[in-house]
Every structure is written in C-alpha cells, then in structure tokens.
C-alpha cells in the first residue's frame, strides 16, 4: 500500500446541476443519453467515468477498481440538467432537429423528460456567431448587466432544483477568433471592459465570469477564448473555482494525437499532413463562416507542432506541411467524415503514406466527454483544486495550461496524467511504469 496521504474531498452528496451553454446536437445527445442510461435504454459507452478502471499498486496486486468506485463521483441519478440557448426549442425538439439519436428508440421513450427542458434566454450576439439567429435572447444595458442576469439564472436554477452543487459546460457554437488583448490581462481591466461594452468581451466570457462569480466550475468545449486568459485565471484562483478547456477532443484530432506520438517514438519523418472534414450539422454551418473557422483551425493546427517538436527534430519535422479543412456538406448531418492523408518517410528518406477515413458521429463522440467533464470538474471542486485543471487535458484539443507551460497533447500522456491525478487525490502510489522491481532480487 502507498504511504501518500489522501486529499480531503467533500462527499458527492445531493443533486449536481449540470448547466449546458447551448442546447444543440452535443448537449441534447449528452442529456438524452444520460436519461436513457438511467432508464436502462443504453450503455454509457465512451465515458471513462462510467466504464473505465484504474490500476492501483503493482501489476502483481491485481487491484483495478472502476474509477467511479475509486473516487467519489456524482451518480447519474443525482444529475439535473439545464441549458441556455438563443433558439427557443425544448430539448426534445432540439434533439429531433439535430438528428443524432434515433427518434423512436432514444427520444420518444423519454419525450416528457426532454420536453420539460426548455432553454433559458441566452446571452447572444450575432457579431460573435455570424451564421446563427436567435430569438430567445436576454437584453441588457451593458455586458455586465447581461452577465449579472446569468448569475441570477445560476442561483435560481440551483434553488429551484434543490442542487447542492453546479457545474457549467460550454456546448455552444464556436465564436469568432479573438486574440487576448489588454481587456483580458487583469480582472479589473476585464470588468471595466464589460462596463464599456468592449467588443473583445464575447458572450462566452460573460458565462465564464458569471460561473466563477457564483463559485461554479466551468469547462469550455469549444475553441473560443472564453476563460483562457489571465483575468479569468485570476478570478478562478481568487474564488477557488475550477476552470478548463478548450474544445472537446473527439474525432480527427483525437486520432492525430495518437498517430503523431507513434511517428515521433519511432523517429519516422512527416512531410505533410492533410486533414479534411465534411459535416452537415449546425456546427458545420457555423464553422463555414471564416471567422468561426479560424478559431477552430487554430485549435486543430496546434497539436502537431507541440507533439512533433520540429525545433528538436528539424530533419524529421522541420518542413512539415499541415493543412486542415472543414467543409459544410448538409447531406451528412452529424455523421462527419474526417479524412487524413499523411505523408511520412523512413530509412534513408523513403516515402510512405497513411490514409485514415474516420466515418464518425460527432455528437456520439462528444456526449460522453461532456458527462466525464461534468463529473470530474465537480470532483475537482470538491477536492479543492482551483484554477486550470490541466489533468483534464485528456478531453481537450487545445488544453489550457499555466502561463509558461506548453500543453501536453499526446492522448496517452494525458491519460496517465489524469489517472495519476486520481491516484494522488486518493493517496495511492503514482504509476511510473519503471517496473525494474519485478526483475531485481536485491
């Protein structure tokens, strides 16, 4: 047994309110999925918190409990859902329109539950998401007033549903690209910019600010800046709240962060990586706008640079041509096709190619991530971990990290980081994979 000391973690008692910003394809697939699982209408496949195990101690000990038995996580039965969306559709209508889950098998049987979930009016401004129009929108004299209205929603939801804790996950559309500027450096500057209606303060930032002011952990599933800047990190630390993001790592980028470490591990060169996507859901439509696409593109492009380290291996990766395209193609709906062509080279420079054609379902891959993030952010909060939760970078394309650190993108290093954090929280030994003790007698 380990001699580490377990961290004090408040018990997961009472109801956990999960508030989704956005009630589109991902959010409805997540919510309807959890309800189906609760009623025995399906299995939570893809969710580490529900299906994953964790090895403890030596390989000879045979200890590998389920993660949800090892750490105290909110149970699915204790989850209560809420959402904001500028589109007034209830969760049933939104899920039918998203066309992800089978209407007869997974939506009709829980129709009443889904119809009862109506989105709260959103803080929304078309300047930040050009391809959307919304009627279910708050009005206010200033950005601060809008953010204060969100704080009230959060408090009202908590008391109305008798929740002991809340967590917020951004599942809304990708906003236009915004670089951090003076309004984002300090909390004072940020709040002054809110009062002044500064355009560099996007709606997603108002949700994040409202969450942190209410002591509610906030996870960002889109590539927007949202809470990835010093003012928000300062607020999270001051209020003792967990934050993290960005951009759920689901399809093509997940594959990329598995294949590229393989090339580097074997010292194989990469000459080019061409990634294209066709998708026809609302997300695809929003990303068809060049300004929203730029936000997504930055998030998708970063991973190879960090994993392959061309500055350390200029011969292998110094001239890599990396291209990412997203094409809006309505007939595909949510069933995205992520296509990768990778030009690699080996011994004496001989070229080879790898083709990956991932016929995936975007929201089927994302829904279990929303669940895991909600449960793990709640755990982090109960364990007193505030600020950026880098141990959850496993879930993100573009992980938020402390200033001065580069993000860790390799999926399996991220998994090790996550599991070692759980071991650390519970006072169990870290697994280093050294293994020499199995071969040494002295």
Give least dist CB 87 to ligand NAD, A.
4
Is 246 a binding residue for ligand NAD by CB under 6 A? The answer is: no
- Candidate ranges 56-64, 83-91, 230-238, 378-386; the one touching ligand NAD (CB under 6 A): 83-91
Interacting residue with ligand NAD among 35, 214, 247, 408 (CB under 6 A): 247
- Does residue 70 bind ligand NAD (CB under 6 A)? no
- Angle separating helix axes 91-98 and 25-38, nearest 10 degrees: 110
Q: Which of 16, 19, 21, 270 binds ligand NAD (CB under 6 A)?
A: 21
Of 17, 86, 245, 368, which lies in the binding site for ligand NAD, with binding defined by CB under 6 A? 86
Near ligand NAD by CB under 6 A: residue from 12, 16, 19, 26: 26
Out of 12, 18, 25, 31, the only residue in the binding site for ligand NAD (CB under 6 A) is 25
Determine the interface stretch with ligand NAD among 42-50, 245-253, 261-269, 344-352 (rule: CB under 6 A): 245-253
Question: Measured from the CB of residue 43, what is the shortest distance to ligand NAD in angstroms?
Answer: 19
Residues 347-386, interacting with ligand NAD (CB under 6 A)? 362-363, 365-366
Region near ligand NAD per CB under 6 A, out of 20-28, 70-78, 145-153, 338-346: 20-28
* Closest CB 409 distance from ligand NAD, rounded Å: 15
> From the list 76, 98, 147, 210, which residue makes contact with ligand NAD (rule: CB under 6 A)?
98
| Sole window of 5-13, 17-25, 109-117, 309-317 interacting with ligand NAD (rule: CB under 6 A) | 17-25
Rounded CA gap, 78 and 301, in Å?
Answer: 38
Q: Which of residues 262-281 bind ligand NAD (CB under 6 A)?
A: 281
Tell me the β-bridge partners of 244: 219
Examine residue 132 and tell whether it contacts ligand NAD (CB under 6 A): yes
Q: Which stretch binds ligand NAD (CB under 6 A): 46-54, 84-92, 231-239, 259-267?
A: 84-92
Q: Which is nearer to ligand NAD, 292 or 386 (CB)?
A: 292
Pick from 203, 217, 387, 399 the residue near ligand NAD by CB under 6 A.
203
CA distance linking residue 57 with residue 70, whole number of Å: 13
Assign 208 to helix, strand or coil: helix
Contacts of residue 104, Cβ cutoff 8 Å, sequence gap at least 6: none
User: Is there a contact between 48 and 87 (Cβ–Cβ < 8 Å)?
Assistant: no
Number of residue whose CB is nearest ligand NAD: 24
Indicate which single residue of 35, 85, 390, 428 sits in contact with ligand NAD (rule: CB under 6 A). 85
| Burial (CB count within 10 angstroms: exposed 0-12, middle 13-18, buried 19+), residue 104 | exposed
Rounded Cα gap, residues 227 and 20, in angstroms? 16
- Residue 162 is encoded by which pair of tokens? 């008798």
Q: Are 170 and 22 in contact (CB under 8 A)?
A: yes
How many angstroms separate the CA atoms of 202 and 224, rounded?
9
- The DSSP output letter for 7 is P
What CA–CA distance (Å, rounded) separates 336 from 253?
13
Decide: is 244 part of the binding site for ligand NAD (CB under 6 A): no
Per-residue three-class SS string for 71-133 = CCCCCHHHEEEEEECCCCCCHHHHHHHHCCCCHHHHHHHHHHHHHCCCCECECCCCCCCCCCC
Name the residue among 329, 309, 336 with its Cα closest to residue 320. Answer: 309
Could you say which of 70, 84, 263, 273 contacts ligand NAD (CB under 6 A)?
84
User: Looking only at Cα atoms, what is the longest distance across the chain?
Assistant: 74
| Contact assessment for residue 30 and residue 171, using Cβ atoms and an 8 Å cutoff | yes
Binding site for ligand NAD (CB under 6 A): 21-27, 84-87, 98, 122-124, 129, 132, 134, 171-174, 203, 221-222, 247-248, 250-251, 281-283, 286, 362-363, 365-366
């Amino acid at each position: 047994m380990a001699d580490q000391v377990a961290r004090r973690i408040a018990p997961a008692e009472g109801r956990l309110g999960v508030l989704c910003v956005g009630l589109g394809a991902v959010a409805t697939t997540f919510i309807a999925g959890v309800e189906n699982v609760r009623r025995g209408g399906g299995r939570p496949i893809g969710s580490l918190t529900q299906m994953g195990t964790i090895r403890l101690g030596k390989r000879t000990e045979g200890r590998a409990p389920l993660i949800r038995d090892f750490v105290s996580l909110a149970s699915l039965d204790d989850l209560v859902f809420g959402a904001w969306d500028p589109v007034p559709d209830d969760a049933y209508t939104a899920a039918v329109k998203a066309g992800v889950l089978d209407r007869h098998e997974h939506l009709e049987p829980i129709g009443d539950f889904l119809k009862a979930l109506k989105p709260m009016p959103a803080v929304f401004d078309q300047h930040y998401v050009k391809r959307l129009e919304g009627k279910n929108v708050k009005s206010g004299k200033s950005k601060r007033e809008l953010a204060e209205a969100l704080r009230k929603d959060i408090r009202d939801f908590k008391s109305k549903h008798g929740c002991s804790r809340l967590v917020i996950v951004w599942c809304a559309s990708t906003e236009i690209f915004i670089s951090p500027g003076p309004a984002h450096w300090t909390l004072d500057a940020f709040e002054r910019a809110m009062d002044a209606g500064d355009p560099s303060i996007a709606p997603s930032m108002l949700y994040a600010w409202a969450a942190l002011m209410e002591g509610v952990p906030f996870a960002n599933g889109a590539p927007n800046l949202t809470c990835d800047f010093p003012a928000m990190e300062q607020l999270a630390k001051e209020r003792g709240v967990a934050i993290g993001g960005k951009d759920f790592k689901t399809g093509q980028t997940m594959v990329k962060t598995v294949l590229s470490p393989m090339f580097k591990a074997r010292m194989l060169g990469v000459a080019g990586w061409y990634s294209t996507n066709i998708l026809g859901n609302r997300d695809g439509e929003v990303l068809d706008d060049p300004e929203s696409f730029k936000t997504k593109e930055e998030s998708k492009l970063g991973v190879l640079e960090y994993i392959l380290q061309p500055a350390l291996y200029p011969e292998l990766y110094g001239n890599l041509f990396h291209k990412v395209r997203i094409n809006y193609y309505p007939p595909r709906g949510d069933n995205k096709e992520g296509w990768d062509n990778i030009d690699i080279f080996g011994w004496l420079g001989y070229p080879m190619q790898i083709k990956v054609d991932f016929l995936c379902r975007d929201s089927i891959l994302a829904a279990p991530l929303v669940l895991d993030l909600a449960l793990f952010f709640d755990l982090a909060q109960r364990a007193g971990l505030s600020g950026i939760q880098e141990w959850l970078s496993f879930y993100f394309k573009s992980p938020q990290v402390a200033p001065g650190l580069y993000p860790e993108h390799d999926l399996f290093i991220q998994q090790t980081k996550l599991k070692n954090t759980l071991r650390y929280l519970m006072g169990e030994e870290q697994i280093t994979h050294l293994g020499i003790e199995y071969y040494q007698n002295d």
